[in-house]
Amino acid sequence: MIAIIDYGVGNLASVNKAFSFIEYDSIITSDHEEIFAADKVVLPGVGAFADAMDSLDKTGMISVIKQIAQKGTPLLGICLGMQLLFDYSTEGGEKVEGLGLLKGYVNHFPIDMGLKVPHIGWNSLDIRQENGIFSGIGPKSHVYFVHSYYLTAENQSDVAAVCEYGIRFDAAVGRGNIMGTQFHPEKSGDVGLNILKNFAEINT
């Protein structure tokens, strides 16, 4: 069973529907015991970094997620959910602490790069890790993004894919059981469904 964490923030229904479409059992839940019992866990997210961290704190999910990561359960952060896995974000002009499961930080796209922000739409990936969730995914595959802030990972060995949008940014990560995508796999057609399938089939 795949648990999709419900903490009051996130694009939950579409992720759940995507897993259902590829015939994997998933559940949207805020129950700590259900999350601990799951074979895989997904941390979705949309909106502001600080608001999401506040919601995780109020629902007791910060401790739950850290324990899930520590015990080796495959954990996938999607969009804001991926950003939350890292040390901090400068969203709102202040340094807001994240979960700190991976080293790195999140900044706003430069306002002078001559492109519209937020970055919305399809863009190609330069895949760095050709295993895990990207197993069998072709080079330069296109996926769907919606974001104004981008990740800079401290350890390049954690970077699973990068993308170009005015600047080069880290678009996906993978270290052990902790994974994340800045793009929305549930909105990225067959490529995204294959990424979710790869995640669902990871052996623990």
Task: List active site positions.
Answer: 79, 184, 186
Cis status, amide bond into 110, omega within 30 of 0:
no
Residue tagged 């529907």 (tokens): 17
Q: What angle do CA 72, 73, 74 make, to 5 degrees?
A: 110
Distance CA 18, CA 26 (A): 10
Distance CA 96, CA 107 (A): 11
Distance CA 54, CA 46 (A): 13
Residue tagged 């015990």 (tokens): 71
Distance CA 104, CA 81 (A): 14
